[in-house]
Amino acid sequence: MFSPQHLLNKPFANDSNSLNKEFYNELLHIIGLEEAKDGGKKVIRRQPVGSRDEGSLLENTSNAIESRGRLAGAGGRVLSEDELFSVALEHCIIWLNRVCF
């Protein structure tokens, strides 16, 4: 109870829930996302237009959805860029959860 881990809030040496930083960065790269600072917070966002990887899961998914016309909004309207990104990201997260966890 009086150990440094409890009193000083230091991490445990063998925390099995900690994420390897290299694995985390590679996973973001494979998905097509990046970690950036927005003010004082770290945010995960889509890579900027000029530096997007066409082979990333996110770009491949959004291209497939867009080219096949599988999803359209209510009334047959075309999805906006933000809606397309949201749907593609949702699919990528579900697939990676199934594969990794």
Question: What are the residue boundaries of the structural domains of the chain, listed by start?
Answer: 4-100
pLDDT digits (tens, 9 = 90+) for 10-51: 766 666 667 788 988 999 999 999 999 988 899 999 988 888
The pLDDT of residue 71 is 55
Least reliable range by pLDDT among 33-37, 50-54, 69-73, 78-82: 69-73
Q: Is the pLDDT of residue 2 over 60?
A: yes
- Alpha-carbon distance 86 to 67, whole Å? 16
